[in-house]
Chains A and B, each alone.
Chain A
Amino acid sequence: MKGAKNDIVRQLQEKILAMQGFASAAQTIGGSLGIGPLESAFPNSTFPLGVIHEFLCSSNEQAAASEGFIAGLLSRFIQQGSVCIWISRSGKLFPSSLNQFCIEPDKVVFISLQTNREILWAMEEALKCEGLAAVIAELPEIDFAQSRRLQLATEKSRVTGFVLRNAIAKKGATACTARWQVSHLPSEPGDLPGVGYPRWQVDLLKVRNGQPGSFQIEWLEDRFMPVITKEYFIRDMERAV
């Protein structure tokens, strides 16, 4: 009797999750993102598509790190030949570099706009357009109502949206599914001289129905790799014991 009840509750929960944009494990297309520990933070252990992710960047460097991380994420789930739209104010993104994250730079349409209002409008319109892989927008600020509009647009079209917030005076609540903060970590070139692979501290500050957490991730040979440092290794071992 109790088991049946739990079953019903679980089914209902899955239904709600599906409505909120979280695919169940069976529904994901193209497999997982290959970031084991990170994905386990999300419900069903699946990276949610067709939702809005927000990234907090307090500096130019952090924005660059977030952009790199987003580019890496995109390369995991966009299909061959599909198009992304990148909306920005500064237009500083250098298309050639996207190639290093396995994205064809000529499949990205860059839109440069002046004001917050314009960016919000353009992003909402773009999110309504089915057939796009993702829409990325650099926004100084976004409030709850605005993020709700974006979320509603994306729920209809299943286009994934990324918002880069670069003027974070107040971290008010938003309707975004996940809130991230990506910052640089010193790279480990091993025994070799020079600079190693890009490495980030990825903080998942908020996630709907999931478990926020903190991860260290490296972009290694065209894929994400969790960083296993000595300290982590020991902690994991202790936990296992």
Chain B
Amino acid sequence: MAKRYLYIWFPYLLTDWISVKRPAVKNTCFVFTAPIHGRITITSVNAIAQQQGITKGMALADARAVVPDIGVFDEKPDRVKKLLKKLGEWSIRFAPIVAIDGNDGILLETSGCAHLWGGEASYLAAILDKLNILGYTCKGAISCTIGTSWAIARFGKNCLIVPPQKEPEFLLQLPPQALRLEVIVVERLQKLGLNTINKFIQMPKSVLRRRFGSGILLRLGQALGTEDETITPIVVVPPYEERLSCLEPIRTAPGIEIAIKKLLEMLCSRLNTEGLGVRNALLKCYRVDGKIVKAEIGTSRSTSKTEHLLKLFALKIPGIEPKLGIELFTLEATKVELVNLFQEKLWNGSPGLQDKNLAELLDRIAGKLPGASIRRYLPQAHYWPERSIRPSISLAEPSQMQWRNDRPRPIQLLNKPEAIDVTAPIPDYPPMNFRYKGKLHLVNKADGPERIEREWWIDSGEHRDYYIIEDEKGKRYWLFRSGHYGQESTQWFIHGFFA
């Protein structure tokens, strides 16, 4: 299928923009200026100023002579580019590939998009209408080449949609400027009386090249489709993306859910054929008012199951604010991985950590409760209690070493040891009693000490002498003395509770 390009030309981009921003100036004569070569030169004019004969490149002083009360705005560098980029991003709702052209146009690759709006004519009308409502004057044209679209948008008179293979007919009556030629070449052509393209299109290529350079052949070829031309899209289309445009703006939660389901079905069937699964997915909802609402999900294992992904997105639906309605949904798999396929089991054993249901459950919890920390711990080769375990990277990560069982460890370990007051009359003996949270506990039985040295290559400080203490009621605690007995810096701490 031939590619189709839509070129939208904004003749008064900057002045339209300020008219939207400040409606007061809308019906006055004003220009944008910038200092060029030490002169204040006009860079943009609005329609009214143009009717008065003021053009781009004129000095401001000359324009003042024509219209004494002309309004003047300073042009800031990059404003035009930013404006075009914004308009380009806005128009992604009509076609996935959008590029910026020069200072006054955007280019959309519309192949396979127009039928969603019921044909190219209504497609073009819909886009231009919306831009007009936004306050921009614009002209657009659709053809099979970028060059022809560019030419027709600027110089075309009535018919702005060029059927495939009909480019030459539409180009013939246009002036040579329509070919995006250099100014010198255009002047030379006009000097020779070649005022329209049909006057030189039949000339031999060698003649044209000799007289006007190879640029004219390239531009002519690009307009006719014999030379290739590439565009640089402002947003690169991600490899795994699906789009769903809606006939009417969607405003209800069930509607959004149906849209997400359709997108997921499209995405998953494609991922399935490639043996891939989603790890991260991003849903973008393009709203009627021009805003984009995003919702992102992540999974703990790559999956291409529609139902599971839909469940994860369903948790996000309450956060999607449709306001006046959503007209386009795009779903992008931002991270994909190979799916680990498991053989179906004949009987229902205990699949343990490989269980698909478990992974899905954890995804749901992480999706619904962003504050949740979901961890699995593995042993680490350290004696220091805080460092003896580490969170595992994934659900399936195997343990590199055995869990130690030789020393009793408390079932509850305080995140930070709490300082306590003790009575410890004999060195290297457990204390007689201790006071924790204002309550005195008499030590009845005790085990210890178990000395754990600080790992000097990691941090510095005192060693710990741990005691297992049982008080008069049978409650068991894990206490330690930091440092040697009788020193100034020695302090007792409680670090845990035994079962």
Candidates B351, B374, B375, B473; contact of A186 at CB < 8 Å: B473
Measured CB to CB, the closest approach of chain A to B313, in angstroms, equals 16
Asked if residues A96 and B474 are in contact (CB atoms below 8 Å), the reply is: no
Instruction: Tally chain B residues at the interface, Cβ within 8 Å.
Output: 58
Interface range, A side: 35 or more
**A185 interfacial by beta-carbon distance below 8 Å:** yes
- The answer for the CA separation of A91 and B371 in the assembled complex, in Å, is 14
Query: Nearest Cβ in chain A — how far from B246, in angstroms?
Result: 32
A103 vs chain B, min Cβ distance (A): 10
Interface residue? B218 (CB, 8 A): no
Interface residue B51 (Cβ < 8 Å from any Cβ of A): no
Which of B353, B377, B444 meets A110, CB within 8 Å?
A: B377
**A132-167 near B? 1/0 per residue, CB < 8 Å:** 110000000000000000000000000000000000
Question: For residue A65, which residues in chain B have a CB less than 8 angstroms away from its CB?
Answer: 499
Report A-chain residues with C-beta under 8 Å of the C-beta of B368. Answer: 121
Chain B residues with CB under 8 A of A114: 371
**In whole angstroms, what is the CA distance A130 to B408 when docked?**
33
User: How many angstroms from the CA of A145 to the CA of B385 in the assembled complex?
Assistant: 40
Q: Which of A8-16, A17-25, A79-87, A172-180 lies at the interface with chain B?
A: A79-87
Q: Which of B40-48, B321-329, B355-363 contacts A (4 or more CB under 8 A)?
A: B355-363
Chain A contacts with B in 189-228, Cβ cutoff 8 A: 189, 193-196, 198-199, 219
**Segment touching B, from A39-47, A67-75, A230-238:** A67-75
Contacting residue for B474 out of A81, A83, A122, A199, CB 8 A: A199
Query: Given contacts A99-B403, A122-B365, are A107 and B352 in contact (CB under 8 A)?
Result: yes
- Also in contact, A96 and B388, with CB within 8 A (given A125-B365, A126-B361, A129-B358): yes
Residue of B nearest to A62 (CB): B475
| Chain A hits for B470, CB < 8 A | 186-187, 195
In the complex, chain A residues 67-122 whose Cβ is within 8 Å of any chain B Cβ = 67-69, 71, 79-83, 90-101, 104-114, 118, 121-122
**Chain A minimum-CB-distance residue to B355:** A131
A51 interfacial by beta-carbon distance below 8 Å: no
Of the listed stretches B118-126, B267-275, B411-419, chain A binds B411-419
B423 in the interface, Cβ–Cβ < 8 Å? no
How far is A154 from B497 in the complex, measured between Cα atoms in Å? 30
Partner of B373, one of A104, A108, A111, A187: A111
Q: Within 8 Å of chain A (Cβ to Cβ): is B468?
A: yes
Residue-wise interface mask of B (362-392) relative to A, using a CB-CB cutoff of 8 A (1 in contact, 0 not): 1011001101111111110000010011001
Contact of A64 among B373, B374, B412 (CB under 8 A): B412
A85 to B362, CA, bound (A): 10
A52 contact set on B, CB distance < 8 A:
none
CA of A9 to CA of B443 in the docked complex: distance in angstroms? 55
Q: Which residue of A lies closest to B444 (CB)?
A: A186
Q: Is B155 in the interface zone, CB < 8 Å from A?
A: no
- Report B-chain residues with C-beta under 8 Å of the C-beta of A111: 365, 372-375
Find out whether the CB atom of A94 lies under 8 angstroms from the CB atom of B405.
Answer: no
Residues of B within 8 A of A125 (CB): 361, 364-365
Q: Is the CB of A64 within 8 A of B350?
A: no
Is B445 among interface residues, defined by CB-CB distance under 8 A?
Answer: yes
- With A96-B403, A195-B445 already in contact, the answer to whether A118 and B369 are too (CB < 8 A) is yes
Instruction: Tell which of A64, A108, A126 touches B499, judged by Cβ atoms closer than 8 Å.
Output: A64
CB neighbours (8 Å) of A108 from chain B are 376-377
**A112 B389 Cβ-Cβ under 8 A:** no
Instruction: Report the separation of the CA atoms of residues A113 and B348 in the bound assembly, to the nearest whole angstrom.
Output: 31
Contact of B358 among A92, A99, A106, A132 (CB under 8 A): A132
> Within 8 Å CB of B415, what residues of A?
90-92
Residues of B near A109 (CB, < 8 A) are 358, 362, 374-376, 395
Contact with B along A51-63 (1 / 0, CB 8 A): 0000000001101
* Contact residues in B for A80 (Cβ distance below 8 Å): 350
Give the residues in chain A near B375, CB-CB below 8 Å: 109-112
Is there an interface contact between A121 and B369, defined as CB atoms closer than 8 Å?
Answer: yes
Q: How far, in Å, is B160 (CB) from chain A's closest CB?
A: 56
A113, B371: Cβ atoms closer than 8 Å: yes
Counting CB contacts under 8 A, is B410 at the interface?
Answer: yes
Q: Is the beta-carbon distance between A93 and B412 smaller than 8 angstroms?
A: yes
Q: Is the CB of B373 within 8 A of A112?
A: yes
B316 close to chain A: CB less than 8 A: no
- Using A83-B358, A112-B373 as known contacts, say yes or no to A96 and B389 having CB atoms under 8 A apart: yes
A112 partner residues in chain B, CB cutoff 8 A:
372-373, 375
Report B-chain residues with C-beta under 8 Å of the C-beta of A95. Answer: 377, 389
Minimum CB–CB distance for A152 against chain B, Å: 17
Which residues of A have CB within 8 Å of B496?
94
In the bound assembly, the distance between CA atoms of A193 and B446 in angstroms comes to 8
The docked-state distance in angstroms from the alpha carbon of A164 to that of B360 is 25
The reply on B476 being an interface residue by CB < 8 A is yes
Q: How far is the CB of A82 from chain B (nearest CB, A)?
A: 4
In the assembled complex, the CB of B331 is this many whole angstroms from the nearest CB of chain A, namely 24
Q: Which of B296-324 contact A (CB under 8 A)?
A: none
Is B498 an interface position by the 8 A CB rule?
yes
Q: How far is the CA of A130 from the CA of B357 in the complex (A)?
A: 7
- B404 and A96 form a contact (CB under 8 A): yes
CA of A61 to CA of B404 in the docked complex: distance in angstroms?
24
By the criterion CB–CB under 8 Å, are B352 and A83 in contact? yes
List chain A residues, Cβ under 8 A from B469: 195
Whether B182 is near chain A, meaning CB under 8 Å from some CB there, is no
CB distance from A20 to the nearest CB of B (A): 23
Enumerate chain A interface residues (CB-CB to B < 8 A). Answer: 60-61, 63-65, 67-69, 71, 79-83, 90-101, 104-114, 118, 121-122, 125-126, 129-133, 184-187, 189, 193-196, 198-199, 219
* Listed A/B pairs (18) with beta-carbon separation below 8 Å: A61-B497, A67-B499, A71-B499, A82-B350, A93-B412, A96-B403, A99-B404, A105-B403, A110-B374, A113-B369, A118-B369, A118-B371, A125-B365, A126-B365, A129-B361, A131-B357, A184-B476, A186-B470
* Interface contacts beyond A93-B411, A195-B445: sample of 13 additional A-B pairs, CB < 8 Å, sorted by A: A80-B350, A93-B413, A95-B389, A96-B403, A96-B409, A112-B375, A113-B369, A114-B371, A125-B365, A184-B474, A186-B444, A195-B469, A199-B474
Chain B interface (Cβ within 8 Å of chain A)? Answer: 348-353, 355, 357-358, 360-362, 364-365, 368-369, 371-379, 385, 388-389, 392, 395, 399, 403-405, 408-415, 444-447, 468-470, 472-476, 496-499
The 10 closest A-B pairs by CB, nearest first: A68-B499, A64-B497, A94-B413, A186-B474, A82-B350, A81-B352, A184-B474, A194-B447, A95-B377, A99-B403
